Amino acid sequence: MKKWTWIILALLITGTVFFISQYKFVKMPDNAMLPQYMQRETILIKKQNASDLEQKQLIAFYDPSVSDKAISKKPIKLSRLIALPGDTLLIYEKTIYVNGEQVNLNVPVFMKYRISTTPDFDKSLLTDMPHDAFNELVENIAYELHCSPKTAAEIGRLDGVTAVHLKWDMRGKASYDIFPISQYLAWNKDYYGPLVIPKKGMLAELNFRNYDLYKRIINVYEGNRSYVNSQKIYINDELAENYRFTQDYYFVINDNRDLPSDSRGFGLLPENHIIGGK
């Protein structure tokens, strides 16, 4: 083999090794990031330390809700980074606030709308619009559609459409598929928090009312054994009134806002589960 052939081969191998070390192709597993990213779409992710990520960035991470596998063997999810360690997050009527400031994502999102029509309305006009889920709530007169605000505005101008309303869960009504499952926190996907995102070294007060927020961090992500006994918290069999976190945590949310398969569902995202961002 000629010398220049060996040089080209070496360069190709070096380039491939470099690419693999810096980037990863990730396939979108579901419709969580509609309308910008489709299910099964392949996305190039740059491997990054969690501390280098920025708010609003699309990130890839290993699913923290899976507990019986090594981190690198867990399924990969993608979502949008919303809150960083130490931030205070609040969701109010679907609007996201971080540290008291409204977060404007500047990306298209899908949300759930209720659409009222006259009985003679052609519902195929709705299903022809860009959307995710479609339900007929009341035959011929009421529908539910997951779509963008822009599409909702277009629907509102159709002949036969009498009303288009953005839907959200009732304030103060707890959803028991929303993190944390707790009798003391009446949160749902549209009214969530306020929640302080744990930061490495941060000391949090610990009591039986907020224990559900932190027990997975304490037990699963940071390797302790905690439990409640007579409304008191014990960590590794010692009475605990506070807890100091040993790693950073993050909060992610889907662009398809009414699919809460994000931090509203699985909870806080540990830094060691993060692969990188786009």
Where the chain has pLDDT below 50, the residues are none
What is the reported pTM? 0.91
Candidate CATH numbers 2.10.109.10, 3.90.1150.10, 3.30.70.1280, 3.40.50.970; the one for domain 9-98+177-277 = 2.10.109.10
Candidate CATH numbers 3.30.70.260, 3.30.390.10, 3.40.50.20, 1.10.10.10; the one for domain 111-166 = 3.30.70.260
| Integer Cα distance of 75 and 145 in angstroms | 29
Residues 252, 260: contact at Cβ < 8 Å?
A: no
DSSP string, 118-172: -TT--THHHHTSS-S-EEEEETTTEEEEEE-HHHHHHHHTSTTEEEEEE--PPTT
What pLDDT does 22 receive?
84
What pLDDT does 128 receive?
93
| Integer Cα distance of 187 and 183 in angstroms | 10
pLDDT digits (tens, 9 = 90+) for 227-249: 999 999 999 999 999 999 999 99
What pLDDT does 68 receive?
87
What pLDDT does 24 receive?
93
Q: Kindly state the tokens that stand for 228.
A: 């409640």
Q: Kindly state the tokens that stand for 212.
A: 């559900």
Four-CA torsion 72, 76, 82, 83, nearest 10 degrees: -20
What pLDDT does 176 receive?
87
Domain ranges of the chain: 9-98+177-277, 111-166
What pLDDT does 14 receive?
66
Reduced to 3 states (helix: H, G, I; strand: E, B; else coil), residue 244 is strand
Q: For residue 42, list its beta bridge partners.
A: 27
What pLDDT does 1 receive?
56
| Integer Cα distance of 65 and 63 in angstroms | 6
Count of all residues that appear for the chain in the document: 278
DSSP string, 179-215: SS--TT----SSEEEEEEPP-TT-EEE--TTTHHHHH
Give the neighbor-by-neighbor strand order of the sheet with 142-147. 134-138, 142-147, 111-117, 161-166
What pLDDT does 10 receive?
62
